[in-house]
A and B are shown apart, each in its own frame.
Chain A
Amino acid sequence: NAGVTQTPKFQVLKTGQSMTLQCAQDMNHNSMYWYRQDPGMGLRLIYYSASEGTTDKGEVPNGYNVSRLNKREFSLRLESAAPSQTSVYFCASTASGKGVRAGELFFGEGSRLTVL
């Protein structure tokens, strides 16, 4: 039972480099999310996709782009990495839909990114 799978788990970048974090879920969930976790800041939402074909900005979207490739996959791209983007990134998914109350989020194991 894979759940939510993120790759890579670790990455070191130089300022200005680009990279894409990949996320896939096998639970047939409609909604997917990207969060970043920083010390003392808790979890902050970067982008989310309520359903296939839609994406919306979260609390801290600047410097990031996302693609909901299909129902299973939701990628996060850093076009020009900056040291302020050093963080641990988490992908999550949940079942959702009209009439569904806020439900359980399933998280990946995280991707630790360092930007030098």
Chain B
Amino acid sequence: GNSVTQMEGPVTLSEEAFLTINCTYTATGYPSLFWYVQYPGEGLQLLLKATKADDKGSNKGFEATYRKETTSFHLEKGSVQVSDSAVYFCALGNSGNTPLVFGKGTRLSVIA
């Protein structure tokens, strides 16, 4: 079945540091891949997505590239800010009628 594995946290970085959160997946067919972000006290919201191999999703300075050869969708940001402190979830979906499969989440704390 489909599954998502992401690096365990928590991750603590200083402001302006480079961020990578690893995500790998197992899936049949050609899934879409997503990163969701959850700020403290809120629900999840979509950060970025990619729907086919070699697509790059980007938003708010975050990027992730859909790598079919390595079954990966790592999240990166060149210079994190304190406001990026949140929990980040990698997710996978195959079709419009089946639920997304989520990773366990990675908590990021950015300190000034």
A31 at the A/B interface (Cβ < 8 Å)? Answer: yes
Between B46, B95, B97, the greatest number of chain A beta carbons within 10 A of the residue's beta carbon is seen for B97
Please report which residues of chain A, range 94-110, place their CB below 8 angstroms from some CB of chain B when the two chains form the complex.
94-105, 107-110
Given A40-B104, A43-B105, A101-B51, A96 and B96 contact (CB-CB distance below 8 Å): yes
- The residues of A with any CB-CB pair to B shorter than 8 Å are 4, 31, 33, 40-43, 45, 48, 50, 58, 90, 92, 94-105, 107-110
CB-CB contacts of B18-38 with A at 8 A, as 1s and 0s? Answer: 000000000000011010100
| Contact assessment for B44 and A42 in the assembled complex, using a CB-CB cutoff below 8 Å | no
- A-B interface pairs (CB < 8 A), number: 67
| Contact assessment for A42 and B42 in the assembled complex, using a CB-CB cutoff below 8 Å | no
State the interface size on chain B (CB cutoff 8 A). Answer: 26
| Contact assessment for B32 and A101 in the assembled complex, using a CB-CB cutoff below 8 Å | yes
Q: DSSP class of A's interface residues: helix, strand, loop or mixed?
A: loop
Between A31, A43, A95, A108, the greatest number of chain B beta carbons within 10 A of the residue's beta carbon is seen for A43
- The residues of B with any CB-CB pair to A shorter than 8 Å are 31-32, 34, 36, 41-46, 49, 51, 89, 92-100, 102-105
Give complex CA distance A107, B100 in Å. Answer: 13
| Contact assessment for B96 and A100 in the assembled complex, using a CB-CB cutoff below 8 Å | yes
Give complex CA distance A97, B95 in Å. Answer: 9
| Contact assessment for A90 and B31 in the assembled complex, using a CB-CB cutoff below 8 Å | no
- Whole-angstrom distance between the Cβ of B62 and the nearest chain A Cβ: 16
Contacts of B31 in A (CB 8 A): 102
27 residue pairs A–B, Cβ–Cβ below 8 Å: A4-B43, A31-B96, A41-B104, A42-B89, A42-B104, A42-B105, A43-B89, A48-B99, A90-B44, A97-B96, A98-B96, A99-B96, A101-B32, A101-B51, A101-B93, A101-B96, A102-B93, A102-B95, A102-B98, A102-B100, A104-B49, A105-B44, A107-B43, A107-B44, A107-B45, A109-B41, A110-B42
